[in-house]
A and B are shown apart, each in its own frame.
Chain A
Amino acid sequence: MAAIWTVLLLLLGTLSTPTTANLEGDALFAFRRGLKDPQHVLQSWDPTLVNPCTWFHVTCDKDNRVTRLDLGNAKLSGKLVSELGKLKHLQYLELYRNKLVGVIPKELGGLKSLLSLDLYHNNLTGSIPSSLSKLTNIRFLRLNSNRLTGRIPRQLTKLPNLKNLDVSNNDLCGTIPTSGSFYKFTEKSFENNSRLQGPELMGSVSYDIGFCN
């Protein structure tokens, strides 16, 4: 029995960084470690399980790969971690209405299966990473009601399936792209950004005009 405990203790010592037993579970657990969770919504997130598919608020497909993360309205505070970008089968990243701070990690551009990115109603800062333009399947991109700054990356207009965009209620600047998939969005998607300079004028004026630091 003492031998078992020696093994366990030695292994626990090397588990301050998680093992490679399940990359997706490890990525989610890295996310959990950076969060304050006063309502214990992440209490079921047990890293000793072989995969995270029975953790509450996590949904997997039949091959045990994470497809949904539903943590909206959970009073979470802390930061988004770059490890979240490792969830290659993630379709829905629902983190809205929390108290998340820090920037949107550029690694989220690696979520190639993503259909919905809902980070609205948080306290996120920094700019919208242009890497989000790699999310070719994305339908819903809702980043409204944060404190995001900088320009709206023009590359986002190339997102072929973008159905719903909301970046309102931030501190974005520069001009509003109007080409590509952005043609269908009304001013409602961009309102309450006091430094946003209105739709770009196609052809005549460079889209870079507008004061943006």
Chain B
Amino acid sequence: MFSLYSYYLLLLVLALNTSQYFGNMETEALLKWKANLLNDSPSLLPTWTTSNSSSYFNKTTTPCTWFGISCNNAGNVVKLNVSNLGLQGTLLNFKFSSFPYLTTLNLSSNALFGTIPASLGNLSDLTTLYLAVNQLSGSIPPEIGNLKSLVDLQLSNNTLTGSIPASLGNLSDLTTLYLWGNQLSGSIPPEIGNLKSLVDLQLSNNNLSGTIPASLGNLSDLTTLYLYENQLSGSIPASLGNLSDLTTLYLWENQLSGSIPPEIGNLKSLVDLEITTNNLNGTIPASLGNLSDLTTLYLWENQLSGSIPPEIGNLKSLVELVINTNNINGTIPASLGNLSDLTTLYLFRNQLSGSIPPEIGNLKSLVGLVIDTNNLNGTIPASLGNLSKLTILSLFRNHLSGSIPPHIGNLTNLKDVQLSNNTFSGNMPQNLCRGGSLENFTAAFNNFTGPIPKGLKNCSSLVRVRLDRNQLADNISEAFGVYPNLDYMDLSQNNLYGELSRTWGECHNLKHLSLSSNNISGSIPSELGKSTQLGKLDLSDNHLVGEIPKELMKLNLLIYLNLSHNELTGQLPREIGSLSELEHLDISSNNLSGPIPGEAGKCSKLLYLSLSCNIFNGSIPSQIGDLISLSILLDLSHNELMGGIPSEIGSLRNLENLNLSHNMLSGNIPSSFEEMKSLLSIDVSYNQLEGRIPTNKAFQKFSFDAFKNNKDLCGNVSGLRACDSSGTSKSNAIDKHKKTGYDTLLIFAGTQLFSITYPAITHFTRVLVT
């Protein structure tokens, strides 16, 4: 009897000691790991400490009351959850073997670094392993595949490298596998297809290569498959079509090729399909029309061809259809008009042809209709005036014609209307900006006639307006108002008349204003000088009179100023020198008079200067030689300049084209001109110059036309007389050539980039990323 009692006592003692033994192990392991953390301190995990216990068993403490620790009824640690504490250290001295009962290990969102130890693989009860959002490096140890109880594995957002171990395929209870946001390489092991319980698979944002294994089609419980932002290649396996629970399939930003398998149309639970930015070719399968729960279909930036299948119109839940930047041809199916929940229809940058089906007007939820850069023809259907929620209408670069249906102007939510580069005609819709939200209105390069839309006058939301190259005829004095956000306004090449309004000066954000090639009259308002953000001002080719206002010279951000081909009078203000950013100044073909101010020499960034065809008098100021950036052109021709050519012009080392012709300049061509090493063309004809032309080889290449009709130039150019031994001209001049009538125009040696009318350029706001 006594032996039985002592036997039970012995067992009791042993049992107690055993649990203490484990208690000891766990405590020791935790404390040792904490002590090895780089930021270990009394304030970090303050509960992790051994206290003085008055218990008989005071050699040990259980960690079960410590922060982040949960124990089972026997006092063994089952959960360790110390996420988000900024713990800095490695896992190398974490003795995993001390925690045989551990089910949950959450160390995520700390600053842990170093590798994941293989000994983790011994935790055979582990169901949840969260090491995400740390700086762990090295490979995923294959021993993780031994964690046979594992349900939830998250190693995402670290700097792990190497391949995904095939042994992970053994984790038959795994429902969640997050390895995203690392630098994992190699292929996705086909063994992943063995994870029969898997629901959520996210391998995105790595360097994975090779193909998508067909075995992934076996993951019959899968709802989420994220493989985006890798370097996966090959085709999308048809077996993925077996994933009947799949709601989200993200394969974007890879190098997938081949066609979209028609089996994708079997994914009856699919809500969000995004395969953008790959190398997919072939056609869009008609079977996609079976995906009745689909809200989002993104196929943009691939090389898909063929037509849009009409079956897409069956996708009754569809909210966003984005297929831009492919090689899609054929017409826009009328069936798309059935997509009553559709907010976004982006088909731009394809080769769609035919007309816009009127059924598009049925898309009552539509916010963005972006079908620019296609081959669409025909007219805009009047039904588009029913799209009351429409914010973005982008039709530019097509072959659309006819007038804009007036009801388009009634759409109050329009923010972005881009019609440029079509053959639209008739009047523009008059009540545009009815809702006061219109920001971008571009209709350049069309055949629009009639007035500027009345609705634009008070449209204070305007940011960017391009109506250039049309036949608009309207009085510009009253057509526009004040626009505090206006950045860009181009009305050039129209038939606008009237006078420039003072209100342009109140557009304090205006950076680019072009009104060239119209019939604008009156003078330049001095108030324009208040629009201090102006970088480019082009008023050329109009009927402007009066003087150049001094106030214009306060536009100290001005880079480009073109007032040429007007009837301006008066002098060039001396204040021109304050335009320190000016690179292009053209005031040619006016009636400007007086001297060329020496202050012009302060525009040290000038690349192009033309004062030609005016009545400037006096001499060429020597300060012109200070314009050291002058390269494209210096043109002072067709004026009444007299006196000598300043030798300082020879300092213009970068000047390519020089025209001083048709003046009354006298004296010699300065020898400093030999320094002008960049000179491609020169014209000093029709002056009173004499003496030897510069002797360097470059000058001998110029033709007689460059020098003709002067007093007595001599030199080694055929047509010019040879100089006598002293190099000066003879006092009794040989008969000058006299050409009757015909003026020789300067021909720029093939480098002319600026024509009188500014070259036609188109640019449009990219709707997608405004």
Contacts and interface: CB of A to CB of B under 8 A. Distances in A.
Interface of A: 1, 3-4, 6-8, 11-12, 14-15, 19-21, 44, 47-54, 56-57, 59-62, 64, 67-68, 70, 72-73, 91, 94, 115, 118, 139-140, 163-164, 184
Nearest to B368: A4
Interface in B489-539: 511-512, 535-536
B582 to A, nearest CB: 12
A6 B296 CA distance: 11
A50 B770 CA distance: 11
Given A4-B343, A15-B769, A56-B559, A20 B536 contact: no
Contacts of B631: 94
A144 to B, nearest CB: 11
Contact of A48 (B252, B583, B770): B770
Given A3-B344, A53-B761, A54-B763, A163 B678 contact: yes
Interface in B361-379: 367-368
A49 B320 contact: no
Most buried by A among B276, B325, B763: B763
Contacts of B766: 21, 48-50
Contacts of B604: 73
Contacts of A91: 751, 753
Given A14-B277, A57-B583, 9 more contacts: A3-B367, A4-B343, A44-B535, A47-B769, A49-B765, A54-B512, A56-B560, A73-B629, A139-B678
A3 B761 CA distance: 33
Given A70-B607, A73-B605, A48 B344 contact: no
Contacts of A6: 320
A54 to B, nearest CB: 5
The 3 closest A-B pairs by CB, nearest first: A53-B761, A48-B766, A50-B764
A151 to B, nearest CB: 24
A50 to B, nearest CB: 4
Contacts of B322: 7
A1 B319 CA distance: 11
B6 to A, nearest CB: 73
A70 B769 contact: no
A118 B344 CA distance: 47
Contact of B325 (A20, A50, A54, A64): A20
Nearest to A164: B677
Nearest to A60: B761
Interface residues of B, number: 48
Given A49-B765, A56-B535, A72-B629, A19 B759 contact: no
B762 interface: yes
A54 B301 contact: no
A1 B511 CA distance: 30
Contacts of B739: none
B393 to A, nearest CB: 13
B629 to A, nearest CB: 6
Contacts of B325: 19-21
A12 B764 CA distance: 18
Contacts, number: 105
Contact of A49 (B253, B511, B763): B763
Contacts of A94: 631
B738 interface: no
Given A70-B607, A73-B605, A164-B677, A7 B763 contact: no
B242 to A, nearest CB: 28
A53 B320 contact: no
A67 B753 contact: yes
A4 B751 contact: no
Interface string B26-68: 0000000000000000000000000000000000000000000
Contact of B320 (A3, A15, A20, A52): A3
A182 to B, nearest CB: 15
Interface of B: 252-253, 276-277, 301, 319-320, 322, 325, 343-344, 346, 349, 367-368, 391-392, 488, 511-512, 535-536, 559-560, 583, 604-605, 607, 629, 631, 654, 677-678, 680, 697, 751, 753, 759-766, 768-770
Given A1-B367, A44-B535, A56-B536, A64 B761 contact: yes
Nearest to B396: A50
Contacts of B762: 50-51, 53, 64
A60 B301 CA distance: 26
A9 B453 CA distance: 33
B23 to A, nearest CB: 49
A62 B754 CA distance: 11
Contact of A59 (B277, B320, B753, B763): B753
A162 to B, nearest CB: 12
Contacts of A118: 654
Nearest to A51: B763
30 contacts: A1-B367, A3-B344, A3-B367, A4-B392, A7-B344, A8-B768, A20-B301, A47-B769, A48-B769, A48-B770, A49-B765, A50-B766, A51-B761, A51-B762, A52-B763, A54-B512, A59-B753, A61-B753, A62-B760, A64-B763, A67-B753, A70-B583, A70-B607, A73-B605, A73-B629, A115-B751, A118-B654, A139-B678, A140-B654, A163-B677
B514 to A, nearest CB: 10
A14 B298 CA distance: 13
B677 A4 contact: no
Contacts of B760: 62
Given A48-B770, A49-B764, A164 B678 contact: yes
Contacts of A64: 761-763
Contacts of B277: 14
A8 B488 contact: no
A139 B759 CA distance: 24
Contacts of B252: 14
A73 B768 CA distance: 34
A78 B629 CA distance: 22
Contact of B559 (A3, A57, A68): A57
Given A4-B367, A4-B391, A50-B764, A44 B753 contact: no
A61 B762 CA distance: 11
Contacts of B751: 91, 115
A8 B322 CA distance: 12
Nearest to B365: A3
A182 B319 CA distance: 66
Nearest to B629: A72
Contact of B763 (A8, A14, A53): A53
A52 B761 CA distance: 10
A68 B733 CA distance: 46
Contacts of A62: 759-761
Given A4-B344, A49-B764, A64-B762, A184 B697 contact: yes
B664 to A, nearest CB: 32
A21 B301 CA distance: 10
Contacts of B583: 57, 70
Contacts of A47: 769
